[in-house]
Amino acid sequence: MHEMGIVSSVLDAVHRVAEKNPGRRPSKVGLRIGEWAGVDLESLRFCFDALAPSEGFRDLDLEIDYRYRQNRCQRCGLEFRVKDYEIQCPSCLSDNTIPAGGEELDIAWVELQE
Amino acid sequence: MERLEIRQKVLNENDRVAAALRQRFAEQGTAVFNFISSPGSGKTMLLERTLERLPLGMNVAVLTGDIQTDNDARRLARAGYPVQQITTAGACHLDARMIERALANWPGEEFDLLLIENVGNLVCPTSYDLGEQAKIAVLSVTEGEDKPLKYPSAFFKSSAMILNKTDLLPWVPFDCKAARANARAIHPEIEIFETSCTSQQGLAEWCEWLVAKVDARCVAA
């Protein structure tokens, strides 16, 4: 539901990159989005396609690097994907594991064309 | 073609404002709680009952967010504390700027406790830091006990979960034990309270926890 606001923040950031790099045109923006970021990807793409042209970006592509929920085992150090909320370490079976990713909502990179 | 690494949070502007608010609240010794839940879980009544039970002399203020109407602010104002309604006019969450603007309407005021009732929504409010000390997730027994699994972020980011409307348990098929287990699967350290604003069950325990948090904050500041 807040995907429009997210897209708007992303486009603001791309505008700032463009201002700092005169003569070059942003062609693609990469986002890193975690499974628990609370973002609906389809809705995000829809909002991006709707908003980007009106913000002056006619040919800007969107690439999403989707990150699954990860936990790190405090005993053996293994990082593993958390499926079905099972936080037990699949290697040493310890329950002492802590979140280590999957909440990202980051602008990772912007590609610039000459 | 060149790829520039940005590595910036999408909501970094909100995070920046929230960090400034958090700093200000720390300096002023204000404990701030951000209540999130689905619409209709009983947040407003829970806050009404909470306000009634807070110690006299505690300097409390309330911000309540809704998409439209100031009905909640009117209800909450009956307790006699300063209340402001934030109507988001369509937005599904409160953001840090809205809190900043609302506080500007209380110039020079410093509070011991600020209670923020977010817009009823378990998704978007979890992404927007308001500078709070803790989020509190409210789940009512007329909802599903699997809500923590369906909306993990809300429960993962909340320090406490309040299972509300427990007076209805005899008439609804809600499994409190399963709800607790689900919340702990997402967030093992989450505090859990069971409350009914009708029978008053559990309110004393919840308010005791809240007041202890306020006292700890005032000493720290």
What would the pLDDT profile of A28-59 be if each residue is shown by its tens digit? Answer: 999 999 998 888 899 999 999 999 999 999 89
Q: Which of B10, B92, B156 faces A106 most closely, judged by CB atoms?
A: B10
Asked whether residue B8 is domain-assigned, the answer is: no
pLDDT value at residue B13:
87
pLDDT value at residue B123:
87
**Residue of A8, A15, A36 to mutate, interface with B, max B Cβ within 10 Å:** A36
What would the pLDDT profile of B63-109 be if each residue is shown by its tens digit? Answer: 999 988 999 999 998 888 999 999 987 788 999 999 999 999 999 89
What would the pLDDT profile of B7-66 be if each residue is shown by its tens digit? Answer: 889 888 899 999 999 999 999 999 999 999 999 999 999 999 999 999 989 999 999 999
Q: How does B74-112 read in b/e, with b if 16+ C-beta sit within 10 Å?
A: eebbebebbbbbbbbeebbbbbbebbbebbeeeeeeebb
A38–B153 C-beta distance less than 8 A = yes
pLDDT value at residue A1:
59
Minimal Cα–Cα distance from B13 to chain A, Å? Answer: 8
A2–B124 C-beta distance less than 8 A = yes
Please provide residue B173's backbone torsions phi and psi, each rounded to the nearest 5 degrees.
-85, 45
Residue B217 has pLDDT above 90, yes or no: no
Residue B218 has pLDDT above 60, yes or no: no
Minimal Cα–Cα distance from B195 to chain A, Å? Answer: 26
- What is the separation, in whole angstroms, between the first and last Cα of chain A? 35
Asked whether residue B108 is domain-assigned, the answer is: yes
Find where tokens 């979140």 sit. Answer: A99
**Residue of B6, B145, B146, B187 to mutate, interface with A, max A Cβ within 10 Å:** B6
Residue of A nearest to B148 (CA): A85
Q: Is B89 on the interface with A (CB under 8 A)?
A: no
Q: Which residues of A touch B5 (CB under 8 A)?
A: 108-109
Count CB atoms within 10 A of the CB of residue A38: 27
Q: Which of B92, B182, B188 faces A1 most closely, judged by CB atoms?
A: B92
* E strand segments, A3-96: 25-34, 61-67, 70-73, 79-81
Q: Which of A1, A6, A24 faces B10 most closely, judged by CB atoms?
A: A6
Q: Which of A24, A87, A107 faces B8 most closely, judged by CB atoms?
A: A107
Per-window interface: B 37-66 vs A, CB < 8 A:
none
Q: Which residues of B touch A12 (CB under 8 A)?
A: 13
Taking only Cα atoms into account, the Rg of chain A, rounded to an integer number of angstroms, comes to 18
Number of domains in chain B: 1
Range of the domain at B116: 32-220
Residue A96 has pLDDT above 50, yes or no: yes
Q: Taking all residues of chain A, what is their mean pLDDT, rounded to a whole number?
A: 92
pLDDT value at residue A78:
97
Asked whether residue B207 is domain-assigned, the answer is: yes
Residue B221 has pLDDT above 60, yes or no: no
Q: Which of B7, B92, B188 faces A108 most closely, judged by CB atoms?
A: B7
pLDDT band at B184 (very low <50, low <70, confident <90, very high): very high
Minimal Cα–Cα distance from B153 to chain A, Å? Answer: 6
Is residue B58 classed exposed, middle or buried when 0-12, 13-18 and 19+ CB atoms within 10 A define those classes?
middle
**All domains in chain A, ordered by first residue:** 3-113 (3.30.2320.80)
Asked whether residue B93 is domain-assigned, the answer is: yes
Closest to A32 measured CA to CA, from A72, A74, A60, A68: A68
Minimal Cα–Cα distance from B66 to chain A, Å? Answer: 15
Asked whether residue B45 is domain-assigned, the answer is: yes
Distance CA B115, CA B207 (A): 13
CA distances from B192 to A93, B102, B109, B163, B170 (A): 26, 30, 32, 7, 20
pLDDT value at residue B94:
94
Asked whether residue B13 is domain-assigned, the answer is: no
Asked whether residue B203 is domain-assigned, the answer is: yes
pLDDT band at A2 (very low <50, low <70, confident <90, very high): confident
CATH number at residue B211: 3.40.50.300
- What is the separation, in whole angstroms, between the first and last Cα of chain B? 52
A17–B153 C-beta distance less than 8 A = no
